[in-house]
Amino acid sequence: MRRPPTPPRPDLVRRPQAPFGWLEAHLLHDSWLAQLGPDATAVLLLLALAADRRGASFFSRGRMGDALGMDVARVDRALDRLLELDLVALRPWRPGGRDGVWQLLPVERSSDQPRGGLMHVAELLRSLGFARPGR
């Protein structure tokens, strides 16, 4: 078994000293990021960083937008996508509300998702909104 490569700055290896967010590796290896797109990926990252040990956070959509530099309509579309894919759940503060307690849900491995997570790098970057240089 090969040893992992040495990081460029081994003197600056991160060692979390306080609470920190986490995301499941399935998101990368099972092509979830490509399905999410850049806005939903950014909102998922924000929710992961803000989540408590149960995966719950209390950011309003406006606060999410402010933190991410997005308008609320973009945040709403991103949250709708996360809800559609069962990556988050919402318990609204009041019936019919769009703000409340957001919870990260376990990432399910789908039979529709490739097990190896193989995807061409260019395809992944395109799905995240990056264009080829010179275009």
Average pLDDT across each block of 10 residues of the chain; the chain has 135 residues. List them in order.
Answer: 81 73 80 92 94 90 97 98 94 93 84 48 68 61
Residue 57 parent element (H or E)? strand 56-57
The domains of the chain, with CATH numbers, are 31-104 (1.10.10.10)
Written as six digits, the tokens of 85 are 């894919």
- What pLDDT is stored for residue 62 in this prediction? 97
- What pLDDT is stored for residue 84 in this prediction? 95
Look at residues 26, 3, 134, 19 and name the one whose alpha carbon lies nearest to residue 87: 26
- What pLDDT is stored for residue 94 in this prediction? 93
- What pLDDT is stored for residue 120 in this prediction? 58
The one-character DSSP state at 113 is S
Q: How far apart are CA 33 and CA 14, in angstroms?
A: 24
- What pLDDT is stored for residue 15 in this prediction? 74
Written as six digits, the tokens of 14 are 């991160």
Look at residues 100, 88, 80 and name the one whose alpha carbon lies nearest to residue 37: 80
